[in-house]
Amino acid sequence: MLYYETDRAAISPTMNRPTKPRLKPTAPASAGKEPRGARRRRETRDKLLDAAFQLMAMKGVDGVAINEITETADVGIGSFYNHFESKEAIYSAVLDLVFEEFGDAIDRLVSDVNDPAEVIAISVRHTLLRARREPLWGRFLLREGLSARVLSRGLGVRLLRDIQKGVAKGRFKLVDPLMSFVTFGGGVLGTIAACVEIDGPRAAELARLGLHASDLPERAASNLLFNLGIPPEEAKVIAQRPLPVVHPSPTA
């Protein structure tokens, strides 16, 4: 399995520090033994994925043509079809890379956490921190988050699952869990939009309103827990607990 630096960084203790906004593939642990042909093939595929990710984050899937991807990746258009059948295929691979791996890492991180409120707080904080640290990742999520695709894959289904668990355990008090998922999923996106913009030209406007980068993830998590029916003081305490970090992917 490929292992991506950005995924490691996203769940490391340094995640508050803004770093490079690109998917940056790294060699797998077994790189030393990899035959040259296989390595070249992998490198080409990584370049294509990296280019597709960047272009799609900025212009949306529909706004990107295959030849733009190959030009940005600096590989021949024939090479594209050695790796992917279509734009839809590379798009699907990008989605797996940017959301599934991140979602899996968060799932491992909270596998020992029993309180559904804490699971949600940790997941939301990590998601918002990554969106701020890697605005391109945040923009990709903003584009994806409002499509019905979130209902079948990625981070959306995970949020729905976590909300349903909390309702089943009696921890969250919701009248309409599905509608609440739509609302809170959209709400997380709204906060991501703020995270992505908070270091940009509108920072002063956001600050004037009262939105600051320093506590946005905790504040958003606390407010979300309150909306889920957790008493406000408890919500605040849970949202401000030290954020667990995860070790690199077991396959890396």
H/E run at residue 4: strand 3-4
Nearest one of 25, 29, 61 to 45, comparing CA atoms: 25
Instruction: Name which position in 13, 210, 242, 250 contacts a copy of itself (CB under 8 A).
Output: 210
- 12 touching a copy of itself, by CB under 8 A: no
Give the tokens for residue 66: 């295959």
Nearer to a copy of itself, 27 or 203 (CB): 203
Residue 26 DSSP class: E
- 240 touching a copy of itself, by CB under 8 A: no
- 193 touching a copy of itself, by CB under 8 A: yes
H/E run at residue 25: strand 25-26
Nearer to a copy of itself, 28 or 229 (CB): 229
Options 5-13, 39-47, 97-105, 180-188: segment touching a copy of itself (CB under 8 A): 180-188
- 204 touching a copy of itself, by CB under 8 A: no
d(CA 34, CA 36): 6
User: Residue 219: CA atoms inside 13 Å, Cβ hemisphere, count?
Assistant: 11
Give me the torsion for CA of 106, 73, 140, 246, rounded to 10°. 10
Nearer to a copy of itself, 86 or 183 (CB): 183
Binding footprint of a copy of itself on the chain (CB under 8 A): 58-60, 62-63, 142, 145-148, 151-152, 175-176, 178-180, 182-194, 197, 200, 202, 205-206, 209-211, 219-220, 222-224, 226-227, 232, 235
